[in-house]
Amino acid sequence: MIRSEARGLLLSRNVLIEADAELSYLFNRARFGRSRITSQEEKQWFQLDMEEAFYLCFSLECLKVIGKDGSIKSNKEPWEYSKSEKPAFPISYKAYSHLQRKNWVVRSGLQYGVDFIAYRHLPALIHSEYAVLALSKGDNELNGRLRVWSDVHCTVHLCGSVAKTLLVLFVDSNSQGTSYPSCLEHYTVEEETITRWNPEQSREDQTSLRNQTK
């Protein structure tokens, strides 16, 4: 992918990449972006979320972000732009890259109302396993999820109905601010899963526990 010298155009909250057959194959294999259908048959366009694009930029260094005039931008510029578009971007990017580094396939969770969906393998082969919410530790005002019980119930119920486990990543900024790249090194991530506790299913265990203590 580095050899392909891909260029991505920053548009609102997405990055658009014009891809030839080889690059399309690589994007599809690596599970980055969604292909966009256009009238040009020979060219494919890939639409990347900001987190995906900047992971390719910052971590894998195989994508350059360009402006509308075609000039290549430094990493700092798209970082600042993303923060202005999405104030929680440093938190969600840290969560995204944390999962990517652990070799999970990470996709947008927009349709389920979570930040990401994390798969162990290719989604086509194995059903996705985690619905991920990235929360800023200490300052929940920023993205405001799971502040009330009804939201927790709602999210856990939804995860159950689509056969996923809710994984909450608490990103602690350790008061390091949001300037690139220093902040990312100092951010720490705590993982927590939230599942339903079913008293009917747990009753049997309790009996066996009681038998043991007798």
Query: Smallest distance from the beta carbon of 162 to a second copy, in angstroms?
Result: 7
CB closer to a second copy, 14 vs 180 = 14
Measured CA to CA, the distance from residue 54 to residue 28 in angstroms comes to: 17
DSSP H helical segments within the chain, as ranges?
Answer: 21-30, 50-54, 76-85, 89-101, 149-161, 182-186, 199-213
Active site includes 164?
yes
Among 129, 119, 134, 159, which residue's Cα sits nearest to residue 31? 119
Strands 14-19 and 44-49: antiparallel
Query: Smallest distance from the beta carbon of 171 to a second copy, in angstroms?
Result: 16
Which positions touch a second copy (CB under 8 A)? 109-115, 133, 143-145, 147-158, 161-162
Q: Of the residues 55, 119, 130, 180, which is catalytic?
A: 119
Query: Smallest distance from the beta carbon of 91 to a second copy, in angstroms?
Result: 13
Query: Smallest distance from the beta carbon of 148 to a second copy, in angstroms?
Result: 5
Among 22, 69, 27, which residue's Cα sits nearest to residue 49? 27
Measured CA to CA, the distance from residue 22 to residue 100 in angstroms comes to: 23
CB closer to a second copy, 23 vs 156 = 156
Among 158, 205, 185, 184, which residue's Cα sits nearest to residue 92? 184
Active site includes 119?
yes
C-alpha dihedral sign at 69, 72, 76, 79: positive
Among 144, 150, 133, 62, which residue's Cα sits nearest to residue 99? 133
Q: Of the residues 76, 102, 127, 186, which is catalytic?
A: 127
CB closer to a second copy, 71 vs 111 = 111
Q: Of the residues 55, 94, 130, 164, which is catalytic?
A: 164
Active site includes 127?
yes
Residues carrying an active site annotation: 119, 127, 164
